[in-house]
Amino acid sequence: MAEQLKLQFEEALQKYKEIENDREKYINSRQQLESQLTENTLEFEYLDEDAKVYKLIGACLVRQDILEAKANVEKRLEYITAEMIFVQCVEEFSTQFVLIRITCPEENVDKCRKENCA
């Protein structure tokens, strides 16, 4: 009985570690998206109406219309915001899942402690 509980505990621990690694990836993704959002927002705010804007296409810089550049940045900001919401939802779901996985095997952990301490 104790061996079975020990195996269940080790399996749960392994799943927890996998979930925690996934959570770290989502946290890193969210941080990267936040920095991109901040950078794009700041650059967008400091852009003058008469500024010359260039777009890198391959190895060439091509002049771009300011209105077209602003539209591209707005679309990028919308995309980044949507990605941040998605990552945040997945991260919250992952956290809830971890909490469920931790609380459910709690009974088994108590049984194992009692058997090994007796």
Which residues span the domain enclosing 23? 2-45+75-117
Residue 33 lies in a domain: yes
Summarize pLDDT for 60-83 with one digit per residue, the tens: 999 998 888 889 889 999 999 999
The letter for the amino acid at 69 is A
Residue 86 lies in a domain: yes
Residue 13 lies in a domain: yes
Residue 104 lies in a domain: yes
pTM summary value: 0.65
Residue 51 lies in a domain: no
Residue 28 lies in a domain: yes
Residue 106 lies in a domain: yes
**pLDDT band, very low/low/confident/very high, at 118 (cuts 50, 70, 90):** very low
Return d(Cα 30, Cα 111) in angstroms, integer: 39
Mean pLDDT of 18-33: 87
Residue 91 lies in a domain: yes
Domain count, the chain: 1
Concatenating the DSSP letter of every residue in 16-83 gives HHHHHHHHHHHHHHHHHHHHHHHHHHHHHHT--TT--EEEEETTEEEEE-HHHHHHHHHHHHHHHHHH
